Copies of this chain bind each other. A is one copy, B any other.
Amino acid sequence: MKKAVILFNLGGPDKIENVEPFLFNLFNDPAILNLPTILRYPLAKLISNRRAPVAKKIYKELGGSSPILKLTMAQSKALETKLNQTEIDSEYKCFIVMRCWNPRANDVIKDVQSFNPEEIILMPLYPQYSAATSGSSIKEWRDVCKKNNYHVKTNTICCYPTDQNFINAHTKEIIKKIKDLKNFKLIFSAHGLPEKNIKKGDPYQWQVEQSVKKIVENLNIENLDWILSYQSRVGPLKWIGPSTEDIIVENSKLAKHIVLVPIAFVSEHSETLVELDIEYKEIADANGCKNYTRVPALGTNEDFIKAMSELIIKKNEYKFSENLYPPKIQCPSNFKKCPCLNYE
């Protein structure tokens, strides 16, 4: 039986000239700028134009492009191999769909149609669900299928913030870095988002908290000094906090060894390689920090690939509704943007 796995991520510009159109795609998404199209389109043009110069500087630090596609291809290949090794009577093929840059859903659907699977599994590379990330990608995929009149049984692994293999992956990466450290502060840093999104019922922050709680339990270290904070705020909106920057300043002044764990990104990209490794490190240095360690993003970590593989293969153990397979987690009812509280 042929099965297609669609891996969703945000994507990133492949060259400097594409930074502005990439930003435009980001802000023209109704999940990001919730305005009528006639307003959203020109506003997205304006914002992407204004932000492009700073964003270009960031991508120049990365050699002129985002590494996210290359890294996602490695994850995709590792997952495809694992799936086909584990479930030998199925033929799995993984496809990457980026929300804001290539490959886009509109093009990838043709490859999926050529493969002609009997089942499609949607697998966001966002462990924690947000309407702005997983939600937007899932919606785009559905819209593109409708537009192309393409109807195949489709199931969605909508989130996996507390999946045990995913938690193990993080735990092991953290232990590698902290095992000989003393007087350190373990800072779990997630991409922030505007407070208004949470107020409207986005479960992202709650799910990030569940991930961190379970990793801390799994680490099982006495008197572990840890905190969860949020990075990457841009623009004039009020974002959720505390901010990673503030936490770094505070702990640098206390002469703590700072250990940063990217908790909502599964591959390296500008937010880890530039923001955490360069910009925040400069802030730490300026505030007296002597020791600064960053735990890598999961990438092709064996437990993470196993996590995704088992979520897909054993998804019937987690069946929530006709199409949704969230692994043993139930968002509180106020998070009404959670797909499990919203399914049709």
Interface residues of A (CB under 8 A from B): 35-36, 38-39, 42-43, 46, 194-196, 236-239
Contacts and interface: CB of A to CB of B under 8 A. Distances in A.
A42 to B, nearest CB: 6
B195 A236 contact: yes
Contact of A238 (B39, B43, B239): B239
A297 B25 CA distance: 49
Nearest to A38: B42
Given A38-B42, A39-B42, A195-B236, 12 more contacts: A35-B43, A35-B46, A36-B46, A39-B39, A39-B43, A39-B46, A194-B236, A196-B236, A236-B237, A237-B237, A237-B238, A238-B238
A42 B42 CA distance: 12
Contacts of A43: 35, 39, 43
Q: Specify which of A35, A39, A239 lies most central, judged by the most chain B CB atoms within 10 Å of its CB.
A: A39
Nearest to A34: B236
Contacts of A194: 236
A39 B45 CA distance: 11
Contacts of A39: 39, 42-43, 46
Nearest to A43: B39
A195 to B, nearest CB: 7
Contacts of A38: 42
Contacts of A46: 35-36, 39
A36 B43 CA distance: 10
A271 B138 CA distance: 43
Which 7 residue pairs are nearest across A and B when measured between Cβ atoms?
A238-B238, A196-B236, A236-B237, A39-B42, A237-B237, A194-B236, A39-B43
Nearest to A241: B238
19 contacts: A35-B43, A35-B46, A36-B42, A36-B46, A38-B42, A39-B39, A39-B42, A39-B43, A39-B46, A43-B43, A194-B236, A195-B236, A196-B236, A236-B237, A236-B238, A237-B237, A237-B238, A238-B238, A238-B239
A194 B236 CA distance: 8
Nearest to A199: B236
Nearest to A197: B236
A42 B43 CA distance: 11
Contacts of A195: 236
A319 to B, nearest CB: 37
Contacts of A237: 236-238
Contacts of A36: 42, 46
Nearest to A238: B238
